[in-house]
Amino acid sequence: MKIYRSALLRFAPDGSPVYDSDGLLAVAPDAKGQERVVAAGSWQALQAQYVNQPGAALIDLPGRLIAPGFVDMHIHYPQTDVIGAPADGLLPWLEHYTFPHESRFHDRAYADSVATFFLDELLRNGVTTSLTFATSHPASVDAIMHASQQRGMRMMAGKVLQDRNSPDGVRDDTEQGLIDTENLIERWHGVDRLGYAITPRFAPTSTPEQLRGAGELAAKYKDVWVHSHVSENLDEIRWVRQLYPQARSYLDVYNGFGLMRERAVYAHCIWLDDTDRALMRETRTAAAISPTSNLFLSSGYFDYLKADAAGLMYGLASDVGGGMSFSPFRTMQAAYIVGREQHSKAGLSLKPAHLWWQHTAGAARALGLEGVIGNLQPGCEADFVVINPACTPLLARKTQQTASLDELLFAMIVLGDDRLIEQTIVSQAK
C-alpha cells in the first residue's frame, strides 16, 4: 500500500468539490492487480489507521496538490501535428490540412510514432484517459491501442468511418469499414483498460448505409462507445440538411440510425435546439465541449444554461488538432471565457470547481465511467496528478494569496499549463 500526504481534491456524487488541505490518499492493488483508492480524506482523521499498516510506504508531498487525472472526452491523436493549421473554418481546415495528414496513417510505423508522442504528451499534461479518434485505417487503431496498453492507460479509440465526401487516402469502403470496425471491437474492446468506440466521422462523410451499419453495431455491442461530431459549424449544418433532407435536425440524423444511447459522445453540440437537447437527455447521450477548438475555428459557443436546463450530460475536451492545446488548464480557461461570452447578459461565470469537475468526474460520468476514473473516492482506479501550485514565480505568488478553494483552482485555471503537472500517476493493471 502507498500512502500519499498532500493537499487532496476529489468530488462528491453531486459534483461539489471535497478538499483537504492536509490530506491522505491510500492506494493498493485489488485482487486483479489493478491499483485502486483504498482511502481518501484528511490526514488527521486517517493517518492512525493507515500509516502503520505492514508494508505501507509513505510518500510525503509538502506544498503539493493531488487531484484526479484529467479526462479528455474528445481528441484526435492523428491530428497531433495539425494543431495550429490556419484555415477559414471547419470545412476548409478538413480539406487542406486534416485529410491529407490523416492519409499517412495507413503506415503502421508512422502511426506508432505519433501514438507514442501523443500519449507522452497527454501524460505530461496530466491527462490519464481520453476518447480519441484514430483515422479510417485499422492500423491507426492498433497503434494507439498497443501504445496505451503498454502504458497501462485507460483509453478509448476507434477507426473512423467515412465512405463519401472524403478524398482518396482517407475514404473507406462502406462494407469493409464496418467489417474492420467489428474486427477491431473483438480485438481490443475490454482488453486490459482499453475500450472501443464506433466512430463515424460526421454525417456528411458517411452514406446512410454506413450509418445504418454503425447503428447495428452499436445495438449489438452495448458497452462499446459511439463517438462522432454534431452541430459544430453553420456551413456543416447546411450541408447535412442537403444530404439528409428527411431528418428533423442534424442530431436527428444520428438518432434515426440508432446512434444515440448511453456511451454515445458527440463533440461540439453548439447549434442544438431544445428538441435536440431533450433527445440527448432522454437517450443519455453526452456532449463533449471543446472550447479551444470552437474559438480556433470560429464555430460558436456551447450554451451551458440551455444544457443545464435540459439536464444533458457533458464534459470538457481539447479536440486537438482543431483544439489549440493538450493542457486541461487551457481548455478550462477557454470554457470559462465561452461561458461568459455566450451569456454576457445573464453574466454566467462558471465556477472554478465546476470547470475542474467537467474535466474529471463530470467527464467520467458522461462517458459512463463514474466511480471508475475521474475521481479519488475509495474504489476508483488510482489515476491521479501531483500538482505543484508554485511552479512559476507568478503562480507561486498568486496561489500563496488565495483565500478559498475556488480562488486556488481559478488561479491555476487562468495562469496554468503543463508546468503545473509535476507527476502523472497511472494505476497499473499488472
Kindly list the residues in this chain that would bind ligand GUN in the complex (CB under 6 A): 76, 90, 94, 98, 201-202, 229, 232, 293, 319, 322
Segment (H or E) for 161? strand 160-161
What minimum distance in Å lies between the beta carbon of 321 and ligand GUN? Answer: 8
For 50, the 3-state DSSP assignment is helix
Q: Which residues contact 159 (CB under 8 A, 6 or more apart)?
A: 134, 135, 136, 137, 138, 140, 141, 177, 180, 181, 184, 199
What minimum distance in Å lies between the beta carbon of 119 and ligand GUN? Answer: 19
What minimum distance in Å lies between the beta carbon of 363 and Zn ion? Answer: 15
What minimum distance in Å lies between the beta carbon of 10 and ligand GUN? Answer: 31
Find the part of the chain contacting Zn ion (CB under 5 A) among 38-46, 143-151, 263-271, 340-348. Answer: 263-271
- With CB cut-offs between 5 and 8 Å by kind, which of Zn ion, ligand GUN, none does residue 159 bind? none
- With CB cut-offs between 5 and 8 Å by kind, which of Zn ion, ligand GUN, none does residue 202 bind? ligand GUN
- With CB cut-offs between 5 and 8 Å by kind, which of Zn ion, ligand GUN, none does residue 359 bind? none
252: phi then psi, degrees, rounded to nearest 5: -65, -25
- With CB cut-offs between 5 and 8 Å by kind, which of Zn ion, ligand GUN, none does residue 144 bind? none
Footprint on residues 293-322 left by Zn ion (CB under 5 A): 319
- With CB cut-offs between 5 and 8 Å by kind, which of ligand GUN, Zn ion, none does residue 413 bind? none
Taking alpha carbons only, the member of 102, 91, 165, 96 closest to residue 134 is 102
Q: Where are the alpha helices (DSSP H) in 125-272?
A: 138-151, 174-188, 208-220, 234-243, 250-256
72 contacts Zn ion (rule: CB under 5 A): no
Nearer to ligand GUN, 276 or 381 (CB): 276
Segment (H or E) for 279? helix 274-283
- With CB cut-offs between 5 and 8 Å by kind, which of Zn ion, ligand GUN, none does residue 90 bind? ligand GUN
Taking alpha carbons only, the member of 420, 429, 318, 350 closest to residue 66 is 420
What minimum distance in Å lies between the beta carbon of 219 and ligand GUN? Answer: 24
What minimum distance in Å lies between the beta carbon of 114 and Zn ion? Answer: 16
**Cβ burial, residue 257 (10 Å; 0-12/13-18/19+):** buried
Find residue 386's DSSP bridge partners: 66, 423
Nearer to Zn ion, 267 or 361 (CB): 267
Nearest 5 degrees, angle CA 420-CA 374-CA 6? 50
For 218, the 3-state DSSP assignment is helix
What minimum distance in Å lies between the beta carbon of 322 and Zn ion? Answer: 6
Q: Where are the alpha helices (DSSP H) in 70-207?
A: 90-93, 99-102, 108-124, 138-151, 174-188
8: phi then psi, degrees, rounded to nearest 5: -140, 130
Nearer to Zn ion, 125 or 299 (CB): 299
- With CB cut-offs between 5 and 8 Å by kind, which of ligand GUN, Zn ion, none does residue 196 bind? none
Nearer to Zn ion, 102 or 319 (CB): 319
- With CB cut-offs between 5 and 8 Å by kind, which of Zn ion, ligand GUN, none does residue 330 bind? none
| Nearest position to Zn ion, beta carbon | 319
Q: Which residue has the cell 500519449?
A: 119
**Cβ burial, residue 220 (10 Å; 0-12/13-18/19+):** exposed
What minimum distance in Å lies between the beta carbon of 349 and ligand GUN? Answer: 26
Contacts with Zn ion by CB under 5 A lie at 267, 319
